[in-house]
Structures are given as C-alpha cells and as structure tokens.
Amino acid sequence: MATYSPNSLFDGGYRLWLHPKQMEVFLTRKRFRVVVAGRRWGKTQLAKVSIITYARGANRLIWYVAPSYRMAKQIMWPELLMSIPRRWIAPNGINQTTMTITLVNGTRIELKGADNPDSLRGVGIHFLVMDEVQDINPDAWYLVLRPTLASTGGHVMFIGTPKSYNFLYDLYTFGQRGELITDKKGRIHNNPWASWQFPTITSPFIPPEEIEAARADMDEKSFRQEFEASFESMSGRVYYPFDRKVHVGEFAFNPALPIWIGQDFNIDPMSSCIMQPQENGDVLVVDEISLDGSNTTETVNEIERRYFKQQNQVVIFPDPAGAYRQHARGESDLDIFRERNFKRIRYRKKHPPIADRVNAMNRMLMTADGKTRLRVTSKAKKTIESLEQTLYKEGSREIDKKPSVEHMTDAAGYCIEFQFPHRPVKIAGLSI
C-alpha cells in the first residue's frame, strides 16, 4: 500500500485509497447512490474520499449527516481534519464547535446530526452523505434534506449496515429497479438511483480468519446482518434458533453444581428460570418456577423450598428494576431476597438493551458456526413455550407482549446476558 499523503487525495491519488468495490461505487455517476455494507468494509473511507473529491469544486456546500451530532464527531470529523491538506483550508476555516471546514476555494463542509432536525434546514447542498442510514428517521430525508437539493441538483450517498427491512432497505430497492423506470404518467426515465450490497469479506483488508472468528461469536441472524450485509426480517420468532429437536432433552438437576436463577418480577406470572452451568461451558435450564398472581415473597418461599440444601450455591440474576420497586414495608424486591439469606445477587445497574439480551440468548442457542451451548429440560414447559412463541411485532424489533409468553425468556435473559454479554465483535484488519 502507498505511504499516506493527505495531498494525494486532492491530487487524484484517491485511487490508491479505495479497494475495488469502493471504486465501483465511487466511479458511478448516478445522482443517488446507496451502499449497504458489512461492518469494517470501509464505508467511512468511501464517504471521506467522496467528500474531499467533491470539495475540489469551488463554492460548493457539502454535508455529512450521521444519526446524531456526537456520532458525526466521532466517525468523520477527525478523519476529515487528518486528510484535508492545510493549504486547502481558509484562514480560520476550521470551526470545532459547529464542525465546519471552509476551504480557500469557497467550498464549505459541514457535519450534522439527524437527531436535531432544525440543524438540517438549509438550502443549496451540492453533495450530501447520510451515514448509518439504518438508524436515521426517514423524515430527516423526505421532509428536510431532500428539498435542500432542488436548486443545485445535488448528489447523495447513503451508507449503512442492514437493520431489518427499514428505511435503508427502502432506499436500496430504488437502485434495484433497473436502468429505466416508468413514472406515474407512463413516461420512461433513466433511473437516478444505484445501490450495492457488499459483505465484509469483499474488503481485501479483512483477513478471512477474522470473519470466521466473528461467525463463532455471534448468532446466525446477527452475523448475516452485520457481516454479510443481509436484510433480515425482525418479525417472527425472537428466539429463532430454538428447535425442540436440538435444544430439549432430559436434563436432571445436579446438586453439586452452581445454581443460576434468572428472575423476572412480573406479578402475573412471577417467573424464575433455573439454570446450571456445566463444566464444558454449556448451560442447562433444569427447572422453572412460574407463579400466577403472585409476589416476590411467595417466589422466594418456593425457591427456598426447592433449594434450601444448596442455598450457598444459588446466584440470583434479577430484573434490575427489582432493586428499586418498593413494597409495603419500604423494602425492594432484592431486599426480600437478601432478608432470606440469598446474598449472591448479580445484576446490572440499569437495564441492558433488549436487543443485547436477545442476541446473547440467541448466541447461546446457536452461534453462526453451528455451536449450541444452551439447552432446556423437557419439564421446563413455560421456558420452552416462551422460546417458541415470543414474537416481534410485525416489521419491528419490538417484542409483542400481548400473548404474555415472554416472561420466562426475560428471566433467563437477565442471567445469560450478564454471564455471557453480547459484546461488539472487533475485527482485525484495515477498514479502508
């Protein structure tokens, strides 16, 4: 690879800084370009090179828009400051507060956050990059940014990683309609949209073994979405890897092993998922407690009745809200456990994102490379029902709570997410 030189980007050397798939997008002259790519593919590099190439023209307005102002500052601001030669920047042309760079040729580059719609109300944009589009409200484009291009005929690059069939997918489909399209009046036009779908592996700078390592650390659907740039439906089953034939068996309680209890404090039912870690690192659901119309005291009574001989082996993994919900005497749910000598309580100070809990559970049910580490005894019928019947609301990542079957997997999830947290997978190699 060539030695880094900021000037080379402005002198036509950008070809040295784009791999073949990035160059394919860069050289396309369509007005609207949509890039759907896996993690570490090099979306930021493509955006940066495109921005500074457009900036070579005089008196242009160029915007980079991320889901939030903070993300824009983290992702693109240092990249631009490092890459644009100082001789191209006007005196006092860098405004750190507004994240604006003014060049000697009169062109202005501005970074924005889509979380502040008022900051997006401008006119005469010549080139716009919308980054991490999957996390941007569509109204930011349709109602605010699209009109700013009318007077200039400005060009746009949309880039992101799939997140179900949302706004990014809609934009992607525009570029898949072919070269010619027909408008509502039956007239034929050239399609101004182009779109691409690039898995991470299409970057020559990511070692294949890193992709395989990620496959072993993630559940299958998350891997396809994050690294294969696949649009995955988030409707349907939340715990989609679960299969009775694979995950259900006759697993007995072992009094010699630790006892992990995931605890959901929903009153109807109160749900306790009883798990035991195995010596090989697997986890077995060996029992469950589901009490309709109950309370925390009755739940503790039942746990104590079943496991009083092994009480020192019990670790409770509760819903974090249990630390704050007050009862008649002023004690919290967790205080009730402590009063009964269940001292080993592990929980996060605030709720982890639901998606993190779900991904941790799905990764234990089956990784993308086919390994299963979480199984359920056949007598844990509520747990099996919850794994099979908990659904997303159609077209969203929001769990449908109307059937009220999610409580036992919520309970299990508090334990699994704490013990096996869903951490971002870091991929070695160059993201350029």
Give the homologous superfamily in CATH for domain 6-202.
P-loop containing nucleotide triphosphate hydrolases (3.40.50.300)
Burial class (CB in 10 A: 0-12, 13-18, 19+), 175: buried
Name the amino acid, one letter, at 335: D
Assess contact for 101 and 27: CB atoms under 8 A: no
Q: What is the mean pLDDT of residues 65-83?
A: 95
Assess contact for 161 and 42: CB atoms under 8 A: no
Share of the chain above pLDDT 90, in %: 64
User: Which of 99-108, 168-177, 273-282 shows the lowest mean pLDDT across its residues?
Assistant: 168-177
Of residues 84 and 10, more confidently modeled:
84
User: What is 236-419's CATH topology?
Assistant: Nucleotidyltransferase; domain 5 (3.30.420)
Separation of alpha carbons 264 and 411, rounded Å:
5
Of residues 40 and 13, more confidently modeled:
40
> pLDDT at residue 300 above 70?
yes
> pLDDT at residue 4 above 70?
no
pLDDT value of residue 236: 80
- What would the pLDDT profile of 24-70 be if each residue is shown by its tens digit? 999 999 999 999 998 889 999 999 999 999 999 999 999 999 999 99
Residue 220 CB contacts under 8 Å (≥ 6 apart), including other chains: 241, 362, 366, 367, 368
Separation of alpha carbons 201 and 41, rounded Å:
8
Tokens (6 digits) for 345: 């309580």
- What would the pLDDT profile of 196-209 be if each residue is shown by its tens digit? 999 888 888 888 88
Assess contact for 191 and 178: CB atoms under 8 A: yes
Separation of alpha carbons 429 and 294, rounded Å:
53
Q: In a 3-state reduction of DSSP, which class is residue 19? A: coil
Average pLDDT, the chain: 88
User: Which of 9-13, 110-114, 335-339 shows the lowest mean pLDDT across its residues?
Assistant: 9-13
> pLDDT at residue 324 above 90?
no
Q: What is the mean pLDDT of residues 412-421?
A: 95
Say how far residue 379 (Cα) sits from the centre of its chain.
Answer: 34
Domain edges within the chain: 6-202, 236-419
194-217 residues labelled b (16+ CB within 10 A) or e (exposed): bbbbbbbbbbeebeeebbebbbeb
pLDDT value of residue 7: 44
User: Which of 28-32, 58-62, 376-380, 389-393 shows the lowest mean pLDDT across its residues?
Assistant: 389-393
Tokens (6 digits) for 298: 């009755």
Assess contact for 143 and 172: CB atoms under 8 A: no
